[in-house]
Amino acid sequence: MGKYIINGGKTISGKILLSGAKNSALPIIAASLLTNDVTVLNNCPKISDTDTAFKILKQLGTDIDADGNTIIINSSSADKVQIPENLVKKMRSSIIFMGALISRFGEGVLFYPGGCELGNRPIDIHLNAFKKLGAKINENGNKIEISCPKIIGTVIELPFPSVGATENIILASVFAKGKTIIKNAAKEPEICDLQLYLKKAGAKITGAGTDTITIEGTDKLGFAEHTIMPDRMEAGTYLMASAATGGELYIENISSYIIKPVTDILSQAGCNLKINNNSIYLKTTKHLSSIPVISTAPHPGFPTDMQPQLTTLLTQAQGTSIIKEEVFDKRIKHIPELIKMGADIDIKDNRTFIVKGPKKLIGTEVYSHDLRAGAALIIAGLLAEGRTIVNGSIHIQRGYENIETMLTKLGADIKFSEN
């Protein structure tokens, strides 16, 4: 099991260019299965989640070539309908291939992803939506077989704006007979990127970024070349790392509106930010202020994927902050680790934490149980006194391309060790 070894106390400052967004790349990689032609994806992040997604595509019979961060996918030879269980277990987002499979082949087989470190993560919204599109679902133990030879467009109102379910319905209905309307759709920017890719390939889809998305069934998709949008969670993580260590950071390639829910909170915490359309400059003030109450919410609310990193930052803020996790029922695994380092955090229940600061953190050995918890612990290690060992690098590598190289460039003393 790999780990990161950090000697804390260095300021994180400098200039960065973001990688492509994981949460945009994954559904677009799944969408490439819809065409019999070639898809070229530029700025595809080299992370283990995209690696798993490519393994799934290969298992389904697709050819893939890579040239750096450019990936060339040829799905014309795809002929399998089952996503192997080990890959579903490795990456919960494998569920996103289901919509693509039933669109392309009228059937698909996958396995329940099971619980995860963020709590119970059911897939009922996905399955109910497939049923509304005409699918028959047969559940046999852990195995789910979906058959949908004829997909008929309809109106689907989501009980919660699930990101994955919104994307799955889009993928499932690209070739549907008639029109599919998703109401209470998720509005995340990555769904706009998926729409952009699909439109280039010939799909008829409008409304991404709003709560109503309309897909008009079409006959076939063709060649498309697309550049994956920059990763707003990577941007937010480095902004938090810089803010927590008293640094200055310039991000050269981000649309300010997609990161506004994060920059608003950083401003509220006392950071100075200069925001242009396509760049952000952050300079930390001497004393960070607490945030009286902050709740996570679907976009454009404060993203749950930034909650752990914000928790670390708020250990350094003057006063009491209350963090409410409203998206996942148990996204708390970073908190006992932060407490080990000296943070004063009271877990009220699995969704509410009270952070009192500022508290000096002291380096020790901690465990990252999921991707963003890992990022939060790396930030804690950067600001802590002494040496921090963050175990569980496998989770961090799911979503950050060369985090140690990027942070070293920004002034950190961080090393990756395989064992």
Q: Does 124 bind ligand UD1 (CB under 6 A)?
A: yes
Q: Does 305 bind ligand UD1 (CB under 6 A)?
A: yes
Q: Does 163 bind ligand UD1 (CB under 6 A)?
A: yes
Q: Does 94 bind ligand UD1 (CB under 6 A)?
A: no
Produce one character per residue of 265-282: b if its CB has 16 or more CB atoms within 10 Å, e if not: bbeebbbebebeeeebeb
Q: How far is the CB of 364 from ligand UD1 (least distance, A)?
A: 27
Size of the site for ligand UD1 (CB under 6 A): 19
Q: Which is nearer to ligand UD1, 279 or 295 (CB)?
A: 295
Q: Does 175 bind ligand UD1 (CB under 6 A)?
A: no
Q: How far is the CB of 169 from ligand UD1 (least distance, A)?
A: 11
Q: How far is the CB of 330 from ligand UD1 (least distance, A)?
A: 9
Residue 271 annotated in active site = no
User: Which one of 77, 137, 150, 160 is in contact with ligand UD1 (CB under 6 A)?
Assistant: 160
Produce one character per residue of 302-341: b if its CB has 16 or more CB atoms within 10 Å, e if not: bbbbbbbbbbbbbbbbeebbbbbbebbebbbbbbebbebb
Q: Does 125 bind ligand UD1 (CB under 6 A)?
A: yes
Stretch that binds ligand UD1, among 37-45, 122-130, 209-217, 263-271 (CB under 6 A): 122-130
Q: Does 157 bind ligand UD1 (CB under 6 A)?
A: no
Q: Name the catalytic one among 116, 148, 192, 271.
A: 116
Q: Does 232 bind ligand UD1 (CB under 6 A)?
A: no
The residues that touch ligand UD1, with contacts defined as CB under 6 A, are 23, 26, 93, 121-126, 160, 162-165, 186, 304-305, 327-328
Catalytically active residues, by annotation: 116
